Chain A
């Protein structure tokens, strides 16, 4: 699990918060990491696992969360210090020859101003997302 985003910008901290709460549950076989943004070093971490779930906040979602496959893509986003999940997977494939099963859990956020703590709406959506994720993990664990 890699949760990314800025906890200093309210709901942009959904990713790291999700990773921290999952980590606290100590699910066997699951490693959790959090960061402000994805970088090239995350490709190494992804290559060392069979299943990777990126967790990030999302704007303008109509439902609490979405869960989609991440396919390696060579195109770069506008900011490349901060890579998109697709670029991380492309680097993992190119550098290490690994293509783990990768997903993106995008959780609906509402507040983005400078500040700490999730909004009440984001907390509710996070709870639903984590419930879903735990079920998913039961299905993929050995």
Chain B
């Protein structure tokens, strides 16, 4: 049998952590197989075992430098259940402080993702020189937008600092509540700060970002609509009344046509509905909806999924943008991967509107911060992290030590969708070509970047690790290997 070609892209640029893409082609250039590998070992769940449960909300933040607040809050919500202060039992001050923290985190995560990770492909073009198709290239192209993105990120981080106590690895959320409120001075820095560092400016810039994408989309519909588009299930939390809610809700999943596969599910019972498949070639698991089975039960999470599962957005400007967005697919679910960026920008706007609404809420200056009830030995906490649904599940023993931890992070939930996206590109862009160009390889990365994956979370990876590239023939013999 003649040798098959195996193309490996290593590492995936502009995302967190490390991943390897492997594509096998036969001699006719047809795709035999494509995989998105995760090569790093998970260990955090074992690390937290034996630690007192109240340490979990601080410890888990060390999983990731980009979304620590999501882990902080998911762990805190699980611990709320354990201390007998589960959903609906926190004080108004605690609930709203956590919401402000969380929406601040959404805002500071979504803004740089679009402007500095995804937009180089849109604004500079997928075929642009790789040396400049990055944030530096964006700075040179559109300085004003780049400055805005920096300030938007800083604004979100300041909100986090004011609520969590620190910019990173904050201690704001504790089991049963929060350890600080928001002082009037802290509030006013966001409402009345020196322009342009105000919430009203952040809302204005978020609106402009949506228009930027729509303008690009209008000129490049075929690419944006068609690229890595494939049907899938979609899963997220939604509020009980079907509204978009990043902090709390019930589990809902819809299929590619919009039919509800799961609805109004209490996430404390997630194990009855969600399974995790292990595959030999990746350390990252493959979650699936049990009622649909392993092969059909995979689903997307994140902005695209959230805007497919929710019925409406509870803030006026974002709702208006949502109606335009939904009209594009005649109200049906959107299965176009690159529309994730559109959805993300609507969420950016919604986050800013919610931050503003919360800043006017006097409950944030309340003094009742913690509540506790009857302790139990197990708790689950879910939030909608920037990248998608985040599951934290813990058990403790009689000595208050953690005995079990199970984390399903957003990127793990998107494992199969990312593999499908890579496969789409392999079939539509790479197959049958006699030469593999840089821009072809970049299209694989564009497909993955739509999911804004955080491989550090999924793999608990160190910031810097050696990377390995292997080229294997159709008999799996190593042809070449490179280590970076």
Q: B135 is contacted by which of A44, A59, A80 (Cβ under 8 Å)?
A: A80
Judge whether B59 is part of the interface by a CB distance below 8 angstroms. Answer: yes
Give chain A residues whose Cβ lies under 8 Å from the Cβ of B151.
44
User: B62 contacts which of A9, A35, A112 (Cβ < 8 Å)?
Assistant: A9
Which residues of chain B have C-beta atoms less than 8 A from A113's C-beta?
43
Point out the residue from B59, B157, B463 that lies within 8 Å of A41, measured CB to CB. Answer: B157
On whether the beta carbons of B65 and A80 are closer than 8 Å, the reply is no
Closest B residue to A83 by beta carbon equals B135
* 21 chain-A/chain-B pairs, Cβ below 8 angstroms: A6-B62, A7-B62, A8-B59, A9-B62, A35-B167, A36-B64, A36-B168, A37-B463, A39-B112, A40-B146, A40-B153, A44-B150, A79-B11, A79-B13, A82-B65, A87-B136, A95-B139, A95-B147, A114-B44, A114-B47, A114-B460
Determine the distance from Cα of A87 to Cα of B151 in the docked complex, in whole angstroms. Answer: 18
- Is the contact region of chain A dominated by helix, strand, or loop, or is it mixed? loop
Interface residue ranges of A26-67 to B (CB < 8 Å): 34-37, 39-41, 43-44, 59
Find chain A residues with CB under 8 A from B132 CB. Answer: 74
How many residues does chain B have at the interface if contact means C-beta atoms less than 8 Å apart? 46
* B56: min CB distance to chain A, Å: 13
B116 near A7 with CB under 8 A, answer: no
B119-154 interface code vs A (CB 8 A; 1 in, 0 out): 000000000000110111001100100110111011
Of all chain A residues, which has the CB nearest B143? A95
Q: Does B431 contact A (CB under 8 A)?
A: no
Q: Mark B51-70, 1 if CB is under 8 A from A, else 0.
A: 00000000101111110100
Given contacts A41-B150, A41-B153, whether A80 and B13 have CB atoms under 8 Å apart is: yes
Residues of chain B within 8 A (CB-CB) of A7 are 62, 169
Chain A positions 76 through 108: 1 when the CB is less than 8 Å from some CB of chain B, otherwise 0: 101111110001001100110000000000000
Known contacts A35-B65, A41-B154; decide if A76 and B134 are in contact (CB<8 Å).
yes
Q: B residues bordering A, Cβ < 8 Å?
A: 11, 13-18, 43-44, 47, 59, 61-66, 68, 112-113, 116-117, 131-132, 134-136, 139-140, 143, 146-147, 149-151, 153-154, 157, 167-169, 460, 462-464, 467
- CA A124 – CA B20 in complex, angstroms? 37
Q: How far is the CA of A59 from the CA of B464 in the complex (A)?
A: 9
The complex places the Cα of A59 from the Cα of B157 at a distance, in Å, of: 30
Q: Evaluate contact between A79 and B16: CB separation under 8 angstroms.
A: yes
Chain A residues whose C-beta falls within 8 Å of the C-beta of B43 in the assembled complex: 113-114
Q: Nearest 10 pairs between A and B by C-beta?
A: A8-B62, A36-B65, A76-B134, A80-B14, A94-B139, A37-B65, A114-B47, A74-B136, A41-B154, A78-B11
